[in-house]
Amino acid sequence: MRVLFVTSEAYPLAKSGGLADVSRALPVAMRQSGIDVRLVLPGYNQAVTRLTNPKIEARVPVCLGEDGAVIVSGQLPDCDVPVWLVHAPRLYARPGGLYQDRQSRDWNDNPRRFSYFGRVAAAIGAGQLLPWKADIVHANDWHAGLVPFYLAMSGRYRPSTLFTIHNIAFQGNFDREHLAQTGVPDSFFHPEGVEFYGQFSFLKAALRYSDRITTVSPRYRQEVLTQAFGCGFEGLLSHRQKDFSGILNGIENDVWNPHTDRLLPRNFSVRDISGKKACKADLQKRLGLAVCRDVPLLGFSSRLTHQKMADVLVEAIPDILAEGTQLAIIGDGDAMLTGALKRLQLRYPGQLAYFHYDEELAHRLQAGADILLAPARFEPCGLTQLYALRYGTVPVVRKTGGLADTVTDAADTDETRGAGTGFIFDEATKPAFLAAIKRALLTFREPIAWRRLQLAGMSQDFGWEVSARKYIALYRTLSGLTGPEDVGYDAAEIDEPWQCEIRSAQGWA
Ligand code: ADP
Ligand code: GLC
């Protein structure tokens, strides 16, 4: 089976969060199961530089008015996953972030950047650009949201499409005037098409036109069917419920493994956890914290955003430190919060450390901390709590999405629920968060109970094998599908004149 995995990030070519980790680890696991999966990404500068064995594979014909783009082929570093980069320097090769400039403002040509990316990805999937054609095109998050649309419109013998929601809060909504640059005819700007509350929405296009939809944990799947979590898409998703499933993310065992992790000063494992002490001392030293074995060291490694309750965390810092703890925070995000952290750091020298996100530091923090704080107002899956469990760092999480699916509260250690692995709180408030931290600290002071918690977490298997099998099973049910009637169209509709209009406008008539 041939699968084209369309994503705007993949570690280590481009990363802003968990999507990058999943876009590497899942294809790696699928290839181990014999699936011919290949990645397509925008050709950001850093991606072109980091690609293994880069080579110009094909020129892209003029498409959506864009000329001079090429497809660069290669592999993800340190694994055998083939990658195609859509190298259109005017769109992707620029200083700044993947989606934003250096001042954290969204690039104003994002609709253009990601419609072009989606159009080229769809053409690769359909076998129009390279001597390879996908059976399944698996598109991820709004950046790839137009791919199912382009393919649904491309004719009867198209690949089937699967769309994965990694975070429904990111929707790619733009003013109607941008539609013209995307090749989506204006006649689709209506509630049954790509219109979403007066705007044109990449995510709406994905949820409307893909054959199947998944999201990254079973609980988040249930949550987004409700008004509280669906961000306006609960109605459409409820309508498509039978095509919509939740498959839990995994972690890449070779990258996040305390036994072999080359970024750590000392390795350790569930059989011999003693090396974790050296990791803690090293982390304290590196971050300028007092080097002390008995002080509980709490860590937070995440985007500093409203989703992650980073505002509540910052507000809770004096209370957390008053418990005689140390706190190490790494992450970027909201400028108000990063400013507040820098000021607080001066008030609590040796006790509070704040650093920008850095991949090596993220590994060292997971290894050296005693407790990982992973609060969130919503969390589709969350990977940091999984890394923490693997590294013997006990997570404190909010009962939402994938956090609730992957952590068992230490108080729930009866036979039905198995051993506890962390501490869970319900309300997204400071008192609830602090109460869970205090429960964790009480247990931390009981070495035997603490060790039991650590080992229970470390013994869990969050590798990709089980979930990769679920995706493969889903691909198999999809590979027999044919035309757009599978997403509820009248077959006659596909021969309408607008379809030819789209194809010729896009240069592949
Ligand atoms: P999310 O994708 O919502 O940020 P996850 O927990 O799924 O949350 O994934 C977070 C991943 O991104 C982890 O690998 C974490 O180490 C990393 N990470 C956290 N903050 C940043 C950042 N500012 N830049 C890049 N990666 C980050
Ligand atoms: C998103 C979500 C996060 C998830 C990640 C990978 O960024 O916020 O919960 O783990 O995608 O699927």
Distance CA 179, CA 46 (A): 29
Q: Could you give the domains of the chain?
A: 2-251+465-487 (3.40.50.2000), 275-458 (3.40.50.2000)
Structure tokens at 403: 């956090």
Tell me which residue has its CA closest to atom 7 in ligand 2.
18
pLDDT at 296 over 70: yes
Starting at the edge strand found earlier in the chain, the sheet holding 195-196 runs 173-174, 199-201, 195-196
DSSP code, position 487: G
Distance CA 337, CA 84 (A): 37
**Confidence band (pLDDT; 50, 70, 90) for 481?**
low
pLDDT digits (tens, 9 = 90+) for 141-181: 999 999 999 999 887 679 999 999 999 999 999 999 999 99
Nearest CA to 326 out of 278, 276, 376, 365 is that of 365
Confirm if 13 and 128 have CB atoms less than 8 A apart.
no
Q: Counting atoms of ligand 1 from 1, which one is nearest the CA of 22?
A: 7
Pairing between strand 52-59 and 36-42?
unpaired
Report whether residue 17 contacts ligand 2, using a CB cutoff of 6 Å.
Answer: yes
Report whether residue 250 contacts ligand 2, using a CB cutoff of 6 Å.
Answer: no
Tell me which residue has its CA closest to atom 19 in ligand 1.
302
Confirm if 126 and 475 have CB atoms less than 8 A apart.
no
Q: Counting atoms of ligand 1 from 1, which one is nearest the CA of 333?
A: 23
Distance CA 384, CA 303 (A): 11
Distance CA 19, CA 124 (A): 21
Report whether residue 379 contacts ligand 1, using a CB cutoff of 6 Å.
Answer: no
The predicted structure's pLDDT at residue 155: 74
pLDDT digits (tens, 9 = 90+) for 28-74: 999 999 999 999 999 999 999 999 999 999 999 988 888 889 999 99
**DSSP count for the chain of H helices, then E strands:** 19, 18
Rounded distance from Cα 321 to ligand 2 centre (Å): 29
Give the number of other Cβ atoms within 10 Å of residue 198's Cβ: 9
Mean pLDDT, to the nearest integer, of 473-491?
Answer: 60
Chain-centre distance for alpha carbon 57: 28
Rounded distance from Cα 381 to ligand 2 centre (Å): 5
Tell me which residue has its CA closest to atom 18 in ligand 1.
17
Rounded distance from Cα 432 to ligand 1 centre (Å): 24
Report whether residue 325 contacts ligand 2, using a CB cutoff of 6 Å.
Answer: no
Helix (H) or strand (E) holding 150: helix 147-152
The predicted structure's pLDDT at residue 418: 54
**Confidence band (pLDDT; 50, 70, 90) for 506?**
very low
Q: Counting atoms of ligand 2 from 1, which one is nearest the CA of 220?
A: 9
Output the average pLDDT for the chain: 92
The predicted structure's pLDDT at residue 486: 41
Q: Counting atoms of ligand 1 from 1, which one is nearest the CA of 166?
A: 2
pLDDT digits (tens, 9 = 90+) for 96-108: 999 999 888 999 9
**Confidence band (pLDDT; 50, 70, 90) for 415?**
low
Q: Note the residue count of the chain.
A: 509
What single string gives the DSSP state of each residue in 284-307? HHHHT----SSS-EEEEES-BSTT
State the residue for tokens 């490694």. Answer: 301
Structure tokens at 451: 């060790």
Distance CA 507, CA 509 (A): 6
- Helix-, strand-, coil-residue percentages of the chain, each rounded to 5: 40, 20, 40
pLDDT at 498 over 70: no
* Distances 377 to 188, 313, 402, 428, 456 between C-alpha atoms, Å: 34, 12, 12, 6, 26
Helix (H) or strand (E) holding 32: helix 18-32
Percent pLDDT > 90 in the chain is 88
Report whether residue 405 contacts ligand 2, using a CB cutoff of 6 Å.
Answer: no
Report whether residue 305 contacts ligand 1, using a CB cutoff of 6 Å.
Answer: no
| Residue 175: burial class (beta carbons within 10 Å; 0-12, 13-18, 19+) | exposed
The pTM (predicted TM-score) of the whole model is 0.93
* Distances 406 to 30, 124, 310 between C-alpha atoms, Å: 22, 36, 21
pLDDT digits (tens, 9 = 90+) for 362-409: 999 999 999 999 999 999 999 999 999 999 999 999 999 999 999 999
Tell me which residue has its CA closest to atom 12 in ligand 1.
17
Distance CA 349, CA 23 (A): 38
